[in-house]
Amino acid sequence: MFSVGEFSDAVLDLQSLAQAKAIDDFQQAALERVQPLVGFDKAWWGIMSPASGSFALHSSQPFNLDDGFVPLWEETKYDDALAKAVKAKPRETVYFDQRRFNEAPGLATLMGEHGVGQAFCTSVYLPSETAFVFLSLYRTVGDARFTRGDQQMAQFLMPHLCSAWTSNRIFQMEYLKASMANDQVAMAILDRQGQLLNAEPQFVEALRCEWPDIGDGCLPDTIGLWLKTDDFRLKLRTVVLQRHLLGDFTLLVVRGRSRLDVLTPRETSVAEAFGRGSSYKEIARQLELSPATIRFYLRTIYEKLNVRDKGELASLLRQEELHIDGATLAVRYRQLHQARFI
């Protein structure tokens, strides 16, 4: 039976988890919290969009499913009758059992390979209306049937799960920004297809310095093309963008151009290494160059930035904090997040 009290407690806990969990931990924790309310064994939570009679996956969080689930779905997605059903009926929890799975051979293969006997699935369209958040809750073959109360609970929980997921991304983005020395930055979060999920107003304002007519939820083609390359930084006329992976998402950081942007990528690497306190020999070893070459780079850096020694250079780096490499950012984010509740 549907319990209003349990539902209310879960909603409050989801908002607490949105603040307490890192971006790449939230969905797992949220599913663990609501699992007793619906009694599912496995789940799949993500974002997808219709694409040429099939679907494109934007985000994916399997729960108690093995690593082969999503790759097999990619092979059989043309026949995903469950996704087609929730695409047509957003915000309505759809029920499928083995009989309905068998009506779509691809879906039957996917569920049969992973021992799924029945499923609830609910969707909520994103504001862009081009993609939707989906949540599939599964029970193993031979388990008791989902009840009408289970279905109501799943349907009522879905908008709160989506809201908490959005809050989690926004809160953690603000938390990470607050930890950075350079406060003249703005951030946004993209899914794996490059769709803008969350963006600070300052992020859009910064992009309008380059593209005055850009819409609130759009990214220019120049950025879309850049995201398909291996370059983590994009220098434009007035702003610089950087990207970093956070779980299944991409964090975009934009800032105005800085004094340090006159440096080449190699000069930037040398300058930042000195700023961290590395010696000539250590930097030479890291960059596979000779100490004499590192000294040459350092003289060039001093001239370009009009600084006299490594102390002034380190001070300038702290003030402007141009970028953090992806691995360092991930470690820093995790450490800061863990320290927050000490």
Instruction: Convert the pLDDT of each residue in 144-203 to its tens digit.
Output: 999 999 999 999 999 999 999 999 998 888 777 776 655 678 888 999 998 888 888 888
Highest mean predicted confidence (pLDDT) among 82-96, 173-187, 189-203, 261-275: 82-96
304 in the same domain as 203: yes
115 in the same domain as 245: no
DSSP state, residue 179 = T
- Give the residue with greater pLDDT, 113 vs 258: 113
Among residues 63, 64, 83, the alpha carbon closest in space to that of 74 is found at 83
9 in the same domain as 70: yes
pLDDT score of 109 more than 70: yes
The pLDDT of residue 262 is 80
HSE-up of residue 273 (Cα within 13 Å, Cβ side):
21
Q: Quick one: angle between helices 4-20 and 26-38, nearest 10?
A: 170
164 in the same domain as 22: yes
Domain count, the chain: 2
296 in the same domain as 162: no
126 in the same domain as 8: yes
148 in the same domain as 85: yes
The residue out of 141, 168, 195 marking a domain boundary is: 168
pLDDT score of 308 more than 80: yes
Average pLDDT, the chain: 87
176 in the same domain as 156: no
Please answer whether residues 246 and 254 qualify as being in contact, where contact means their C-beta atoms are separated by less than 8 angstroms: no
Q: List helix spans (H) across the chain.
A: 4-20, 26-38, 69-76, 81-88, 98-102, 105-113, 148-178, 201-208, 221-227, 265-275, 280-287, 291-305, 310-320, 326-339
The pLDDT of residue 202 is 87
The pLDDT of residue 340 is 37
CATH number reported for the structural domain that contains residue 122 in this entry: 3.30.450.80
Mean pLDDT of the 334-340 span: 44
CATH number reported for the structural domain that contains residue 218 in this entry: 1.10.10.10
Highest mean predicted confidence (pLDDT) among 112-126, 212-226, 307-321: 112-126
Mean pLDDT of the 26-38 span: 97
Question: Using one digit for the tens of pLDDT, what is the confidence trace for 126-144?
Answer: 988 889 999 999 999 999 9
The boundaries of the domain holding residue 100 are 4-168
Sole residue written with tokens 């380059």 = 210
The residue out of 142, 168, 194 marking a domain boundary is: 168
191 in the same domain as 113: no
191 in the same domain as 85: no
Among residues 267, 260, 252, the alpha carbon closest in space to that of 318 is found at 260
315 in the same domain as 234: yes
pLDDT score of 338 more than 70: no
200 in the same domain as 93: no
Under the banding of pLDDT at 50, 70 and 90, the label for residue 337 is: very low
pLDDT score of 34 more than 80: yes
C-alpha–C-alpha distance, residues 57 and 239, integer Å: 30
C-alpha–C-alpha distance, residues 116 and 141, integer Å: 5
- Give the residue with greater pLDDT, 106 vs 331: 106
pLDDT score of 320 more than 90: no
The residue out of 148, 168, 188 marking a domain boundary is: 168
The pLDDT of residue 53 is 85
CB atoms within 10 A of CB 132: 24
